[in-house]
């Protein structure tokens, strides 16, 4: 029915915690997702020391690394430029900032560059796989720097479905240092922790896993982290799909086609629109139940239909949804109403299939109506562009 | 039980249907246990008539156009055979 996408989907998540008592984080994490190239890049840098100075160093490093990578500059040149550009620390008399760059192409080929951060971990089928990496020394113009310190590690791997790439700053491995049970810090035990976390919840999202790792390091330091702590996780997985159907098809012959799309869709389903839900109900022989006790003004109530995750009114609800999307993700996600239900489902989805019927409801064009009703096609187009640019979702738009 | 269907489709909802839903909570005691309120996505009236007059509601099998609280209650009372 709808075009199946067999591309690998890559979820990226990160979490950070500042050193105890610091207002800014000395680590920087930057990400870039190119929808056209289907490429995902993430960079993490740990600046020398902590606080504002470290933050400046790591921000400089991370943004240089990211932008060089986007333009596909050679790795050695990137590393050399970064090392030669950073300002020299007045106390320690060195210019230094670590970085890890992960660049994943659409075919699953990942390029990994590591400089002095704890080693990146690849988890495949609940085992830690050792990366086959080669070392490269970056030559320096400055004579006082020790060339042994300027070794970068390069690895190329082909990612498979269900692989996870995990990397973090030394705040994670050194957490808990001096405690009786981990005198030298968390160290390699973090590997066991990661495997256990995945075993406990096989579908754990990248966002959740990175948060879990950072939270545990915070606990290791008894809630007073001794260093800035950051963790980035990549998770290659089956994308979570969401179908949003709105509007009756232009010709009635397509009603059946619309119903088949809804019936055969592998993912969550939302139907927006009274007439649309009537069509689905008629074609698939499903009852619509409207709960009048659950009215959140000013929006018409949502209904229930077997096998459909959410059934709402059409154009007013879509309009409210688009204004939520425009404002950006709020802190409080637990607000009530059909538009909020939709918003939450959208946040959880990776691929969104929008199917919009283009039949115009002439009654909606009546100039005496108390509320202005937009043309569905325009609202849907606006939604699609918001979801793509602002929420990094893959959107397939189809008019019928 | 007398079924009362109120349309909450877009057109009906913005032309007064939203107020009709509220009647459910203010229904007089004497008929409270004799009626059931049901929402409807669309009662399918727009297509039947050239000039449709929303909002629509249905009491039993009787369709009411340009429905108001007054009209709706009158119809309910008359179908239940109770003096208002």
Q: Which are the contacts of A102, defined by CB distance < 8 A and separation ≥ 6?
A: A41, A42, A43, A110, A111, A112, A120, A165, A167, A232, A234
**Domain chopping of chain A, boundaries:** 9-237, 241-399
pLDDT tens by residue, B50-66: 566 788 888 888 888 88
Q: Does A246 touch chain B (CB under 8 A)?
A: no
- Count contacts between A and B (CB, < 8 Å): 72
Q: How far is CA B55 from the centre of its chain?
A: 9
How close is the nearest chain B Cα to the Cα of A291, in Å?
7
CA gap A311, A77 in Å, rounded? 54
Average pLDDT over residues A45-64: 92
Return the structure tokens found at A5. Answer: 């996408």
For A295, which of B14, B15, B21 is closest by C-beta distance? B21
User: What confidence tens digit (pLDDT) does each residue in B11-31 have?
Assistant: 888 888 888 888 888 888 888
How are beta strands A151-158 and A109-115 bridged, if at all? antiparallel
Fold category of A9-237 in CATH: Phosphatase 2c; domain 1 (3.60.40)
Cβ pair B18:A297 closer than 8 A:
yes
SS3 of A197, please? helix
| pTM of structure | 0.66
Superfamily of the domain at B2-80: Glutaredoxin (3.40.30.10)
Name the B residues in 18-57 with CB < 8 Å from any A CB: 18, 21, 24, 37-42, 44, 46, 52, 54
Q: Which residues of B touch A300 (CB under 8 A)?
A: 8-10, 13, 17-18
Task: Render pLDDT for A352-367 as a digit per residue (tens, 0 to 9).
Answer: 999 999 988 777 777 7
DSSP state of B16: I
* Sequence ranges of the domains in chain B: 2-80
**Closest-CA residue to A273 (of A216, A209, A342):** A342
Q: Where are the alpha helices (DSSP H) in B1-84?
A: 10-12, 18-22, 29-32, 69-80
SS3 A219: helix
Task: Confirm or reject contact between B8 and chain A (CB < 8 A).
Answer: yes
Q: d(Cα B5, Cα B23) in Å, to the nearest integer?
A: 12
Give B-chain residues touching A291 at CB under 8 angstroms. 39
Both tokens of residue A169? 């700053």
pLDDT tens for residues A159-212? 998 999 999 999 999 999 988 888 899 999 999 999 999 999 998 888 889 999
What gap in Å lies between CA A237 and CA A245, rounded to an integer?
Answer: 25
Is residue A33 within 8 A of residue A65, CB to CB? The reply is no
């Amino acid at each position: 029915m709808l075009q199946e996408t067999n591309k690998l989907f890559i979820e990226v998540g990160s979490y950070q915690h500042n050193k105890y008592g610091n207002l800014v984080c000395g680590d920087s994490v930057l990400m870039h997702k190119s929808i056209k190239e289907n490429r995902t890049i993430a960079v993490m840098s740990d600046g020398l020391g902590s606080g504002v100075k470290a933050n400046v160093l790591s921000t400089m490093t991370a943004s240089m690394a990211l932008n060089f990578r986007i333009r596909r500059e050679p790795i050695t040149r990137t590393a050399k430029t970064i090392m030669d550009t950073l300002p020299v620390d007045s106390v320690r008399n060195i210019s230094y900032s670590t970085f890890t760059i992960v660049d994943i192409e659409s075919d699953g080929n990942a390029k990994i560059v590591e400089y002095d951060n704890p080693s990146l971990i690849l988890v495949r089928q609940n085992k830690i796989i050792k990366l086959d990496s080669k070392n490269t020394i970056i030559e320096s113009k400055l004579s006082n720097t020790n060339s042994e310190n300027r070794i970068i590690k390069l690895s190329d791997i082909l990612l498979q479905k269900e692989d996870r790439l995990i990397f973090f700053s030394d705040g994670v491995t050194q957490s808990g240092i001096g405690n009786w049970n981990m005198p030298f810090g968390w160290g390699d035990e973090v590997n066991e922790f990661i495997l256990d976390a995945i075993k406990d919840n096989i579908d754990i999202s990248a966002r959740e896993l990175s948060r879990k790792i950072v939270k545990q390091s915070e606990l290791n330091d008894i809630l007073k982290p001794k260093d800035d702590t950051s963790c980035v996780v990549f998770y290659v997985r089956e994308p979570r799909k969401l179908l949003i159907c709105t509007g009756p098809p232009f010709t009635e012959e397509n009603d059946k086609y619309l119903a088949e799309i809804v019936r055969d869709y592998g993912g969550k389903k939302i139907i927006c629109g009274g007439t649309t839900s009537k069509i689905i109900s008629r074609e698939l022989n499903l009852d619509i139940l409207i709960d009048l006790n659950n009215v959140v003004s000013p929006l018409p109530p949502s209904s229930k239909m077997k096998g459909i995750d959410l059934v709402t009114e059409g154009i007013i609800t879509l309009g409210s949804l688009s204004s939520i999307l425009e404002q950006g993700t709020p802190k409080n996600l637990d607000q009530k109403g059909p538009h909020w239900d939709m918003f939450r489902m959208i946040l959880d989805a990776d691929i969104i299939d929008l199917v919009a019927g283009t039949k115009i409801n002439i009654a909606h064009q009546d100039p005496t109506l108390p509320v202005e009703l937009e043309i569905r096609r325009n609202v849907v187009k606006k939604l699609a562009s918001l979801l793509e640019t602002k929420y990094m979702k893959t959107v397939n738009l189809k008019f019928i | 039980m007398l079924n009362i269907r109120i349309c909450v489709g877009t057109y009906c909802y913005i032309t007064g249907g939203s107020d009709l839903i509220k009647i459910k909570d203010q229904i007089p005691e004497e008929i409270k246990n004799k009626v059931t309120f049901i929402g409807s996505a669309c009662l399918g009236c727009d297509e039947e008539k050239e000039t449709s007059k929303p909002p629509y509601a249905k009491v039993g099998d009787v369709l009411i156009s340009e429905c108001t609280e007054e009209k709706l209650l009158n119809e309910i009372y008359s179908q239940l055979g109770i003096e208002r």
